[in-house]
Amino acid sequence: MAKIIMIQGTMSGAGKSLLCAALCRIFRQDGLRVAPFKSQNMALNSYITRDGLEMGRAQVVQAEAAGVEPDVRMNPILLKPSSDTGSQVIVLGEVWGQMGAAEYYRKKESLKPVIRQAFDSLAAQYDVIVIEGAGSPAEINLREHDIVNMGLAQMLDAPVLLAGDIDRGGVFAQLYGTVALLEPEERQRIVGLVINKFRGDPEILRPGLKMLEERAGIPVLGVVPYIRADIDDEDSLSTRLDQRQAHRPVDVAVIRLPRISNFTDFSPLEAHPALGVRYVERVEELGAPDLVILPGTKNTMEDLLWLRQNGLEAAILKLAAADTPVLGVCGGYQMLGRKLSDPLGVEHGGELAGMGLLPQETVFTGEKTRTRVSAVVQAPQMKGAAIEGYEIHMGRTTGGGEPFCVLSDGRTEGAWRGDVWGTYLHGLFDTGELTAALARWLLERKGLHPEDAVPESHWAYKERQYDLLARQVRENLDLKAIWKAMEDYEHG
């Protein structure tokens, strides 16, 4: 069976996902077969595996860092929030149902065998499993049925690293307070503390580190710097415009919808040297971009109403009338059509007029489309670009217009009219071909020379970012102590 290590955090956003990705890459670099594992993930950014099953993107990123194919066993439970109190529950890649928080809390116990079986099958296949917790293990009101933090660590007999985020401030209180709220047997599982996202001179921290170790009774195994590796983060989307993006020649505005999903679709655009990508949520932020993108959303009709009420829909329609290109992806594609109907109340219920930029109509049904596809773009501005993507959506869209692309089985997908394009395909920019074709067309449209901005392959770029992440974590984490803890737990 595999050796195991678990990363828990003092809060959401403490950097657990990236630390796990770093360890996955480090163990891979050291010649080991390694896989990530997170028993329960809550995120709107999801991914479709080659066998058509759905999982969270954090474990996809970690699998890429480990050099292995993403597998739903790495994330057996995925919660996709649909409201403040409810989520779509996905178990081993399949929709289990729509549940309120209280109902799901009551049913969590029944999922323990699913988690155990998924983990055991991975552990029989790999040398090391890197496990990620969720939120904080000190949520004492949720301890009784915990399946993702200390409850999971106990189930799997896993040693734990506890990470705190110094960038938010109060890291000593975060770490000590978390340890203090745990039960004695839970505290004993913590083999080391990690201070994450540090900017500055580590020597200044040393007196505090010594005091923390004395009070918590647990060694600090690393102070990891704030790492500027460009790696997908499924749990947050910064509205800050990176200064590198701000000075690029082509301005791309992605509408930050309230229920935005799969925003990592646009990471390849951000990496292109000619494309300045920014995320906007108010009319005054929109300006006069060279391209507007409507992304995916967990609730198309509610987010279309939001666009309508805050004035962004009118602003986008005005830009489109002035020949500004508009791209809609998944829910964004549905918004671009003439009408949306929800007779079963899957999303909002009733009917809603769309933006009318494409001649399509969408009907929401209870059936979820979930598939990986290959396609070739037919829209003349980017004709011939190859796509390897996936579909995750509840609606069925029909109508006129020319197809955006043709799938490998000969079926057409999406639509275009003029400089407005719509497609259901997530991951459409990952091959790099559509990114390059779109950037070339946008540059030429502005009278600029595309050959002056040749992008690096997206896959090569991501590999370089994983190596950068691993190098900085390797230099600042006591890996010998971590490996010893893993061996000690393995031998009881």
Instruction: Name the catalytic one among 272, 393, 426, 458.
Output: 426
Burial string for 99-127 (b: 16+ CB within 10 Å, else e) reads beeeebeeebeebeebbbebbeebbeebe
Catalytically annotated residue among 20, 24, 272, 330: 330
Helix, coil or strand: residue 412:
strand
Element (H, E) at 164: strand 160-165
445-484 burial, b at 16+ Cβ within 10 Å, e below that, comes to eeebeeeebebeebeebbeebbebbbbbbeebbebeebee
Handedness of CA 22, 167, 135, 56 (dihedral sign): negative
Residues in contact with 317: Cβ distance below 8 Å, sequence separation at least 6, in sequence order: 355, 357
- 426 catalytic? Reply is yes
Q: Rounded to 5 degrees, what angle do the CA atoms 152, 197, 10 make?
A: 30
Identify each DSSP E strand in 256-335 by its residue range.
260-261, 275-280, 291-294, 296-297, 326-329
Cross-strand partners of 81: 87
Residues 333 and 296: their CA atoms lie apart, in Å, by: 8
5 pairs with which residues across the strands? 130
DSSP conformational letter for 151: H
Distance in Å from the first CA to the final CA of the chain: 13
Identify whether 330 is a catalytic site residue. Answer: yes
Contacts of 157 (CB under 8 A, 6+ apart): 489
Amino acid (one-letter) located at 4? I
Looking at the DSSP assignment, which residues form a beta bridge with residue 223?
195
Look up residue 378 and give its two tokens.
């037919």
Q: Which residues are catalytic?
A: 330, 426
